[in-house]
Amino acid sequence: MGTGTKVAIGCGIAAVMGGVVLAAVVFGGIWWAKGKAEQFTGHEAKIEELKKKADAVPFTEPADGVVREDRLVKFLEVRRRVFDVYAKHKDELEAMNKKKQAGLSDLAHGLGVLGEVRMAQAQALADVGMSEDEYRFMVQQVYKTLWASEVAKASPGPEGASAPTLDVPPANIALFRKYETEVKQYAMGGLEWVGL
């Protein structure tokens, strides 16, 4: 057998091996992506199931805007659970935020963390019996009352004198001051912008 034949056979074998490796990479990538897509849709289905359970709890916004203490405690439990996930990934999220140019893996990781946070929130809402409507109401009241409480502390005059001008019931200010440490601890600015 001549040198040219040996080279041709070697090139043929290399081409076949290259094709096998390429096929393995392509099909492996497709298999991996399919698994991730199934994982994502399963994750989303579980979140939706938990939200339906939570939303089965009736909620009517109080006409006077006064927050009941037992509901605030439940809200804080939900926030604590979400905060636990947020805190677990805080350093990673800050590192990604500081990067000048995020890559596809950073985006995928960030979406994974967001999914984990959403799952924690949905599970907590279902567990404590709080609908999404009530949760949104509580978020609104917490931030509004927290702000009104700070304004009332800074303004001269009787306790809570500025509350009526801020449209916050004085009872809410008193209640939120009682739980001020937890309210401030579990404030995760920015998460409300993504619906959490």
Tokens of 151: 């304004």
**Residue 77 pLDDT more than 90?**
yes
Mean pLDDT lowest among 37-41, 59-63, 138-142: 37-41
Which pLDDT value is given to residue 142?
A: 87
Share of the chain above pLDDT 90, in %: 33
Rounded CA Rg of the chain: 27
Tokens of 178: 């009682």
Domains of the chain, by residue range, sit at 57-194
Return d(Cα 123, Cα 119) in angstroms, integer. Answer: 6
Range from 50-54, 110-114, 145-149 that averages highest in pLDDT: 50-54
Range from 108-117, 120-129, 154-163 that averages highest in pLDDT: 120-129
Return d(Cα 168, Cα 74) in angstroms, integer. Answer: 20
Return d(Cα 164, Cα 115) in angstroms, integer. Answer: 39
Which pLDDT value is given to residue 43?
A: 80
Helices 170-178/132-154 angle, 10° precision: 90
Which pLDDT value is given to residue 3?
A: 77
Return d(Cα 56, Cα 74) in angstroms, integer. Answer: 16
Contact between 136 and 113 (Cβ < 8 Å): no
**Residue 168 pLDDT more than 80?**
yes
Asked whether the whole model's pTM tops 0.85, one would answer: no
Tokens of 44: 């989303």
Number of Cβ within 10 Å of residue 130's Cβ equals: 22
If you average pLDDT over every residue of the chain, what do you get?
A: 79
Which pLDDT value is given to residue 193?
A: 46
